[in-house]
């Protein structure tokens, strides 16, 4: 996530955003519905919101 915040090249940023989203989805699947991951889920939720903001404000999403 830190790399996304610092990246200024839009093409590299798109790749970083997609890789971050993929990592979040894979981790979410690993956790399944196991209890005890509340803090991690909150952090992942925050990361998703940050990625959404990056896509909208820095990458001009939705793309046409």
The number of domains in the chain is 1
Owning domain of residue 6: 2-58
In a domain? residue 26: yes
Asked whether 13 and 59 are in contact (CB, 8 A), the reply is yes
- The token pair at 30 is 């690993």
Among 11, 8, 44, 14, smallest CA distance to 26 is for 44
- For the chain, what is the radius of gyration of the CA atoms? 13
The model's confidence at residue 63, banded by pLDDT at 50, 70 and 90, is low
Helices (H), the chain: 2-6, 10-31, 38-53
In a domain? residue 64: no
Give the tens place of pLDDT for each residue, 6-51. 999 999 999 999 999 999 999 999 998 788 889 999 999 999 999 9
Give the pLDDT score at 2. Answer: 83
Average pLDDT over residues 40-63: 93
């Amino acid at each position: 996530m830190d790399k996304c915040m610092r990246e200024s090249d839009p093409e590299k940023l798109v790749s970083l955003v997609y890789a971050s989203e993929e990592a979040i989805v894979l981790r979410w699947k690993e956790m399944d519905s196991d209890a005890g991951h509340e803090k991690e889920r909150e952090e992942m939720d925050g990361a998703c919101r940050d990625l959404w903001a990056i896509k909208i404000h820095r990458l001009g999403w939705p793309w046409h």
